[in-house]
Amino acid sequence: MAEKDIDKLLSLTDSKYRLSVVTAKRALQLRSGAPSVLPVEQRVRTHNLVTQAMRELATGKLTVGTELMDEGRFHQDYVRQKQAQLQAQLNAERERERD
């Protein structure tokens, strides 16, 4: 994958180092449960999160820069969203049990 889109990926950043860091951070976000921006048919082909992160960056749907939300806040917001979803599911199950 890297060879196919490497020029496009390098054009998104100012150096190979930054590209490596951005790719690694996105792979960590994916591992933490962040939703992918790739269509399902592209996601199922690989379980390698670095490859998936590089494919996501190549789509242009992700923003690369220094003025972005920090990782800690991103993770906290994601955890809050997941907890709210789980609580909603639990409440729905309780309602069904009452009926």
Q: What is the pLDDT of residues 34-82, one digit of tens each?
A: 888 888 777 666 678 888 888 888 888 877 765 555 666 666 777 888 8
Residue 58, pLDDT score: 85
Using a 10 angstrom Cβ sphere, with 0-12 exposed, 13-18 middle and 19 or more buried, the burial of residue 9 is buried
pTM to 2 decimal places: 0.60
Above 60 in pLDDT, residue 19?
Answer: yes
Residue 69, pLDDT score: 53
The CA–CA distances, whole Å, from 3 to 6, 50, 72, 95, 97 equal: 5, 14, 32, 53, 54
